[in-house]
Amino acid sequence: MADLSRRALLRGAGATGVTGALAAVTGCGVPPAYVRAADRAGPDRSARDPRLTFANWPLYIDVDDHDKQRRPTLEAFERRSGISVTYTEEINDNDEFFGKIGPALMNHQSTGRDLIVMSDWMCARLVRLGWVQEMDRAAQPHVARYLDPQLRTPHFDPGRGHSVPWQSGITGIAYNRRKLGREIKHTSDLWQDALRGRVTLLSGLDESFAMLMQGDGVDITRWTAEDFHRMTDRIRRLVSRGHIRRFTGNDYIKDLDSGDVLAAQAYSGDVIQLQADNPDIEFVVPQEGAELWAESLLIPNLAAHKRTAERLIDYYYEPAVAAELAAWVNYVCPVPAAREVLASSRDKERAALAEDPLIFPDDAMRKRLAIARDITSTERTEFAKEWNGIVGL
């Protein structure tokens, strides 16, 4: 597994960055950004041109143990289909990539990519702008059958017509149980005096706010501005008292491992990797709940190989293929049926993954997971300014 936190790469500015990038492609004299459904599709060359361009994040697909340039599941798709896939790891930041493809989409031009993976808060922006195409679910029987029911109806894309999760995960609490000397069960446990100066929170607004609201008893599927301000008031007071050590990206991993920090807001996939080296680290979904998130596959407007992109998406929803991917990336698998594939493995370590609730959440954990409604474009400027003022960005 990679040493770098893959999820931490997703921390785009999530605030002024999106607004700035959008402004850059919606300047004076440029037509409105929204693209009507009738104008999103271009001539599809899938039948006569067996190629596909797939843009993804680094460290987000299985690789061969002996040759890191080889990607076994992708190569198996190429052999089976006869389709040549150009796979690029060019997405390092949501806002940065938005700025890269935005001008083309804004001006009704092809991005040169058939398939991209974005964090769901950025998917929300692209769906609302009409910059991604609706998929033909009839051509995706495995998606229709195997997609995790809990991921089917995000606020921004009910029914997942425009997006399909690539991988999913949980934002919860990681802590060093041996050094802390007790369990953490509630978000409020982070605010106890014994943890003063030994707690970190995530710095990204989109990554952090939902779990903190849930700690106040908020239903994050329908949170309000009042809920947001109540949460930020609490965090501001904790910062002023020196209770929160700092706000972090993926560097909370190092802090936890060294013992400088005893508890941190964290991503589930990171903790699986950290536990391999430090079994004292535990991950908890607070009793009040935690956020279930996803990064999702999208087909940009005017993609030249839409049907081929739909075919590749459906391939990754075959349980055996999803199991291969899950065994490597260690995030929440969006195909629950992959659990049985891993459980039947003769390899003990591989079979053990089927019992890991951070890859396949059990029923008790799922009851505490929710997908937050996204921050609207109207809310974002105000809320990001308030949050960034607390974080120090």
Phi, psi of 171, deg, nearest 5: -100, 110
First-residue to last-residue Cα distance in the chain: 31
- For 37-167+294-358, the fitting CATH number among 1.10.15.40, 3.40.190.10, 3.30.230.30, 3.40.50.1380 is 3.40.190.10
pLDDT along the chain (393 residues), means of 10: 44 42 43 86 97 96 92 98 98 93 96 97 95 97 98 94 97 94 96 96 94 97 97 97 92 87 93 86 96 97 98 98 96 98 96 96 96 92 96 85
Residue spans of the domains in the chain: they are 37-167+294-358, 169-292+373-392
pLDDT for 10 equals 43
pLDDT for 53 equals 98
Output the CATH code of domain 169-292+373-392: 3.40.190.10
Q: Dump pLDDT digits (tens) for 151-209.
A: 999 999 999 999 999 999 999 999 999 999 999 999 999 999 999 999 999 999 999 99
pLDDT for 32 equals 63
Q: Is it true that 37-167+294-358 and 169-292+373-392 share their CATH fold?
A: yes
pLDDT for 210 equals 97
pTM, entire model: 0.90
